[in-house]
């Protein structure tokens, strides 16, 4: 700190910054103390009788006490369960438009939707209010996580990223077919109609072949082209190296509709 001839003082910049940092720190500590005092005042009425009056609350307290006794073993084992319970209890105290979910719950929701389907997902979600995101949020998660797969699109870029991130070097590929229900759906993202047998060029499926803005052409397709009865799937299985303890999961490279007109020559040209 320096004093000028007129009697005023100039504070050194470094000292001023330290003083501001100290003031901000003290303000933050005061806010934390106020929050803590508010919480103590809010829950000061939780008597033993109140806890016994609500069996769910008593059970949760007993369970969390058990976890705290052996935190090293139970933390990872029950992490998803704890977040599941926390999500339900937290969301039940909030308006429906303020529901919040952790990343683990979102990942679980995606897995349940993919493995169980829409009906199973909605059955669980509606019977456990606040536990899982609604379908609108779920579809948004799918759109933002590159889980959306377009028909006849070979996802080589995603495969390369998977190999790079997980340090894989070798893999083997396979191709197979499975029967599907015959139906036509409109894909709004690619502006194409999905469900017709994919056209092949030298064995390679043509992406977004059934795209049109003409109702007459669409009508012609429905009347002259048989719907796909089979789904052709290309899978890649990375090979586990000697330094890896976890078996890598398979990767869906491509999928597209087809029928029984595919020939052996088409498959040979494709590979």
The per-residue pLDDT for range 251-263, each reduced to its tens digit, is 889 999 998 888 8
pLDDT of residue 132: 94
Pair (72, 108) in one structural domain: yes
Q: Is residue 150 part of a domain?
A: no
Instruction: Assess if residue 189 is contained within a domain.
Output: yes
129 and 231 fall within a common domain: no
Residue 56 lies in a domain: yes
Q: Are residues 136 and 176 in the same domain?
A: no
What's this model's pTM, rounded to 2 decimal places? 0.54
With 0-12 / 13-18 / 19 or more C-beta atoms within 10 angstroms meaning exposed / middle / buried, residue 22 is exposed
**151 within a domain of the structure (yes/no):** no
- The parent domain of residue 16 ranges over 2-40
Burial 165-200 (b: 16+ CB within 10 A, else e): eeebeebeeeeeeeeeeeebeebeebebbbbbbbeb
pLDDT at position 267: 81
**Domain co-membership, 168 together with 201:** yes
With respect to residue 32, please indicate whether it lies within any of the assigned structural domains: yes
Phi, psi of 188 (to 5 degrees): -70, -25
Do residues 34 and 56 both lie within one domain? no
Do both 90 and 56 map to the same domain?
yes
Q: How many residues are present in the chain?
A: 271
* Owner of token pair 């003290």: 26
Choosing from 101, 123, 144, the residue where a domain stops is: 144
The alpha-helical segments, DSSP class H, found in 43-102 are: 48-53, 55-69, 71-77, 79-92
Q: Which residues touch 256 (CB under 8 Å, ≥6 apart)?
A: 151, 152, 198, 205, 231, 232
Statement to judge: residues 114 and 163 lie in one domain: no
Token look-up 């929050």 returns: 35
Using the structure block, give the residue that is written with the tokens 């001839």.
5
Take residue 254 and report the two structure tokens written for it. 């491509």
Q: What is the pLDDT of residues 9-19, one digit of tens each?
A: 666 656 667 77
What's the number of domains the chain is made of? 3
Q: Are residues 174 and 133 in the same domain?
A: no
Taking the C-alpha atoms of residue 182 and residue 219, their distance in angstroms, rounded to an integer, is 17
Going by the DSSP 8-state scheme, the letter that residue 238 receives in this structure is: E
- For the segment 147-169, what is each residue's pLDDT rounded down to a tens digit? 678 889 899 998 998 888 888 88
């Amino acid at each position: 700190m320096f004093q000028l001839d007129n009697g005023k003082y100039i504070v050194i910049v470094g000292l001023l910054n330290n003083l501001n940092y100290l003031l901000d720190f003290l303000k933050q500590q005061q806010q934390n103390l106020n929050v803590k005092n508010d919480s103590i005042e809010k829950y000061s009425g939780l008597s033993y009788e109140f806890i016994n009056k609500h069996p769910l609350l008593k059970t949760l307290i007993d369970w969390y006490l058990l976890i705290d006794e052996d935190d090293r073993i139970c933390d990872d084992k029950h992490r998803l369960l704890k977040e599941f319970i926390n999500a339900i209890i937290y969301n039940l105290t909030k308006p429906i438009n303020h529901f919040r979910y952790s990343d683990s719950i979102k990942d679980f929701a995606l897995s349940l939707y993919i493995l169980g389907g829409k009906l199973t997902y909605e059955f669980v979600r509606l019977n456990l209010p606040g536990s899982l995101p609604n379908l609108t949020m779920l579809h948004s998660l799918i759109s933002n996580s590159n889980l959306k797969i377009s028909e006849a699109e070979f996802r080589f870029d995603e495969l390369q990223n998977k190999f790079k991130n997980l340090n894989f070097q070798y893999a083997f590929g396979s191709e197979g077919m499975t029967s599907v229900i015959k139906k036509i759906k409109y894909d709004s993202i690619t502006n194409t109609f999905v469900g017709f047998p994919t056209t092949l060029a030298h064995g390679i499926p043509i992406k977004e072949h059934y795209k049109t803005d003409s109702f007459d052409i669409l009508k012609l397709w429905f009347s002259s082209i048989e719907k796909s009865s089979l789904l052709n799937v290309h899978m890649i299985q990375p090979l586990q190296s000697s330094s890896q303890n976890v078996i890598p999961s398979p990767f869906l490279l491509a999928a597209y509709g087809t029928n029984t007109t595919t020939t052996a020559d088409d498959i040979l040209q494709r590979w």
